[in-house]
């Protein structure tokens, strides 16, 4: 049976990428060795790292003032590395709190200095993106989360910031064009739109580094990784390779513009059904809804079991909502075809017909 993978992450990847990865595992570029058996100092793998970094710059239109790193530890380690590298001990950082991950980022930054939360949507279980707030001009940076995987909200228009913007784009990077040049630092765990779990993309404007005045351990210092060309120590070879393939796949599909068109069509299809079908309702405000992770609930929870069975029979996997929201969450990353969304919509309509 064909499985429709709505998992929030690790998540669906292009089948051609997975097949190429499986083939490289058996024989990496005709070397007679597996991808995971060759030295990272091997010329072929150095080429992979170089291309994986270059593809990011091509897709986002970034110039030499930015450096691209493939690190480890997930976005969660960036919650610490960002303030370590950018927040002066006597300085202040500004954060927008739009969900679980933003909250964790704030908690970690508070261990390293002063944090001002400029706005928070916690009052309504993070069901909206705050829009009226003031970013302090004396902050070392302003941190925001572009897409909230758990709560299904997404920033549609980024603010004008008087200080460098730092953005956790883990769950929507490469899903749409963004004004990448207006950010000081962008980071993203790979395991949604850009690859498998195990590597974290960090894009940083070089002139922001070296200002915090802290003594950092080597692996926690962006400057050390930049000097090492993202190979200060052994990189996560497999995750970087699959990320490179995925970025090349995005380019072959037409780049970020094409991704956005596909993703908006998928989202419109599902949002339309959630609003049309009286059995369901969204959990977010209309202007804050994500087109990556769409969260919704049944109006009458007594239908959960029936729906669960129908979803399973249709091959729909990974649709369970996060426990903080309940209900359902459809994660529809770049690699998901609209056909899978149609299967989900068909099930929602079939439930409506059955209960009519």
- What is the set of active-site residues? 101, 168, 192
Residue with smaller CB distance to a second copy, 196 or 351: 196
> Binders of a second copy among 229-268, rule CB under 8 A?
232-239, 242
Dist CA 317 CA 311 (whole Å)? 8
> Binders of a second copy among 145-164, rule CB under 8 A?
none
The single residue among 16, 58, 73, 209 that binds a second copy, judged by CB under 8 A, is: 73
Residue with smaller CB distance to a second copy, 34 or 285: 34
29 touches a second copy by CB under 8 A:
no
68 touches a second copy by CB under 8 A:
no
Token pair, residue 67, equals 């450096």
Which whole-number Å values give the CA distances from 71 to 49, 164, 198, 219, 232, in the listed order?
Answer: 12, 21, 9, 9, 10
Q: Which residue's structure tokens are 């969450």? A: 329
76 touches a second copy by CB under 8 A:
yes
HSE, side-chain direction, 13 A CA sphere, residue 264: 9
Residue with smaller CB distance to a second copy, 112 or 247: 112
The phi, psi pair for 77, rounded to 5°, reads -70, -30
The single residue among 52, 74, 178, 193 that binds a second copy, judged by CB under 8 A, is: 74
Which whole-number Å values give the CA distances from 312 to 121, 293, 301, in the listed order?
Answer: 34, 19, 17
Shortest distance in whole angstroms from residue 67 CB to a second copy:
19
198 touches a second copy by CB under 8 A:
yes
Dist CA 230 CA 227 (whole Å)? 8
Per the CB < 8 A criterion, the answer to whether 226 and 266 are in contact is no
Q: Which residues bind a second copy (CB under 8 A)?
A: 1-3, 5, 7-13, 18-19, 21-23, 25-26, 31-34, 36-40, 42, 71-77, 79-80, 104, 107-108, 111-112, 189, 191, 196-199, 215-220, 232-239, 242, 315, 317-318
């Amino acid at each position: 049976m064909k499985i429709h993978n709505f998992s929030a992450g690790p998540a669906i990847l292009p089948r051609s990428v997975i097949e190429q990865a499986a083939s490289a595992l058996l024989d990496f570029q005709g070397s007679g060795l597996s991808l995971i058996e060759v030295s990272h100092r091997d010329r072929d793998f150095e080429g992979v790292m170089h291309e994986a970094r270059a593809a990011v710059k091509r897709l986002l239109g970034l110039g030499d003032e930015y450096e691209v790193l493939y690190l480890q530890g997930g976005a969660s380690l960036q919650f610490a590395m960002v303030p370590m590298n950018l927040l002066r001990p006597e300085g202040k950082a500004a954060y927008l709190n739009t969900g679980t991950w933003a909250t964790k980022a704030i908690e970690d930054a508070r261990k390293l200095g002063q944090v001002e939360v400029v706005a928070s949507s916690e009052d309504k279980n993070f069901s909206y993106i705050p829009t009226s707030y003031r970013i302090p001009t004396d902050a070392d940076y302003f941190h925001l989360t572009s897409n909230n995987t758990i709560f299904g909200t997404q920033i549609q228009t980024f603010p004008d910031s008087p200080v460098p913007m730092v953005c956790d784009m883990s769950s929507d990077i490469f899903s749409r064009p963004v004004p990448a040049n207006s950010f000081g630092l962008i980071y993203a765990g790979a395991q949604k739109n850009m690859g498998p779990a195990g590597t974290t993309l960090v894009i940083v404007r070089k002139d922001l580094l070296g200002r915090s005045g802290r003594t950092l351990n080597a692996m926690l210092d962006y400057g050390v990784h930049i000097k090492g060309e993202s190979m200060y120590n052994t990189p996560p070879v497999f995750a970087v390779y699959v990320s490179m393939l995925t970025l090349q796949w995005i380019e072959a599909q037409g780049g970020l513009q094409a991704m956005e068109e596909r993703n908006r069509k998928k989202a419109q299809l599902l949002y339309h059904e959630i609003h049309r079908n009286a059995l369901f309702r969204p959990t977010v405000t209309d202007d804050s809804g994500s087109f990556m992770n769409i969260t919704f609930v049944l109006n009458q929870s007594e239908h959960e079991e029936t729906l669960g069975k129908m979803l399973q029979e249709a091959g729909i996997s990974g649709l369970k909502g996060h426990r903080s929201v309940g209900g359902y969450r459809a994660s529809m990353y770049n690699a998901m075809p609209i056909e899978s969304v149609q299967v989900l919509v068909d099930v929602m309509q079939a439930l409506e017909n059955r209960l009519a």
